[in-house]
Amino acid sequence: MTTRACDRCAGEFMLARRPVCLGGRELLRTVSPQKNDGGGIQLTEAGMISGLPRHVACVMDGNGRWAAQRSLPRSSGHAAGEAAVIDVIEAAHRAGIEWLSLFAFSTENWRRPDTEVDFLMRLVQRTIRKHSVMLYARGIRCRFLGHSDARIPPSLVRDIDELADLTRRNTGMTLTIAFDHGGRRDIVQAARSLILNAVPADEVTEETFAAHLPCPDTPEVDLVIRTSGEQRISNFMLWQVAYAEWVFPPVLWPDFDAAQFWECLRIYRSRRRRFGDVQVPVRMERI
């Protein structure tokens, strides 16, 4: 950890990788957490977002291109992305985000070369073992969405289960790692669960359907950040991102840091969310 006093506000910002001035009190005032009764977003009369997103999800894209730009193997890009993961976790925790979801490995990623898949499995296991104590000490509850494929090494499955058990009583931010995850598969599993539980067709609502999804207590995603400039959903938490705001920073994931995460929060707060309504926008105070 490194700290640096910001000259503008004489405050300190703790970052996981490198000292970055986050804009002093002005930025803290812009994205500081705000409480509300429901725990979710707050909207002004014009639909302008007030406060922080409750649930932020990240599609961590660009590791391979980061490595290619440096004439390095793809594995080097994946390894470099670990620092960005810790930066984002720390930044979200300090900002007061309640739920953070990270897309680490998709059901489609099994199509990659065996050597790359093996490396990713080892990298995830190493990251869990390296940072589990920090996550526990921060009061972060860790969960994994997916990880049902028999090809996942048994030792990694044990580490996943042990981290979830270690942190299950934590009451701070909930960190969900989408690993061996596919949004379509989750929806199919929910449909199967409804059928197996003999739920009558006329009792199937959006609420009852969501209750049969994996990790059903997960709130809808408010903000999705996808790095590298690519603009695709990629089968990520399809049900939960239905009304999410999306931000596509061009930076590749290994270069994504806490300051850029906070900038995404600022962009989110500049948006208007109407949820299908036709509210007339009004001029708002500039953020």
**245 and 209 in contact (C-beta within 8 Å)?**
no
pTM for this entry: 0.81
**Rounded distance between C-alpha atoms, residue 211 and residue 194, angstroms:** 9
Mind giving me the DSSP string for 23-66? Answer: -HHHHHHHH-----TTSS-EE-TT-BEES--SEEEEE---HHHH
H or E element, residue 179:
strand 174-181
- What angle, 0 to 180 degrees and rounded to 10, lies between the N-to-C axes of helices 258-269 and 24-31? 50
pLDDT of 36 over the 80 cut: no
pLDDT of 102 over the 80 cut: yes
Instruction: Give the pLDDT band (50/70/90) at residue 38.
Output: very low
Residue type for position 152: I
- Range scoring the smallest mean pLDDT among 79-93, 119-133, 204-218, 267-281: 267-281
Instruction: Give the pLDDT band (50/70/90) at residue 273.
Output: confident
pLDDT of 25 over the 60 cut: no
Which whole number is the average pLDDT over 149-157?
A: 96
Q: Are strands 141-146 and 174-181 parallel, antiparallel or unpaired?
A: parallel
- Annotated catalytic residues are 61, 109
114-151 tens-digit pLDDT: 999 999 999 999 999 999 999 999 999 999 999 889 99
**Rounded distance between C-alpha atoms, residue 267 and residue 287, angstroms:** 9
- Closest by CA position to 135, among listed 84, 103, 93, 104: 93
**Rounded distance between C-alpha atoms, residue 182 and residue 189, angstroms:** 11
**Rounded distance between C-alpha atoms, residue 66 and residue 114, angstroms:** 20
62-76 tens-digit pLDDT: 999 999 999 999 999
176-202 tens-digit pLDDT: 999 999 999 999 999 999 999 999 999
Whole-number Cα distances in Å, 228 to 117, 250, 255: 21, 5, 10
In percent, the amount of the chain with pLDDT more than 90 equals 75
What does the pLDDT read at residue 90?
96
**Rounded distance between C-alpha atoms, residue 94 and residue 87, angstroms:** 11
Average pLDDT, the chain: 84
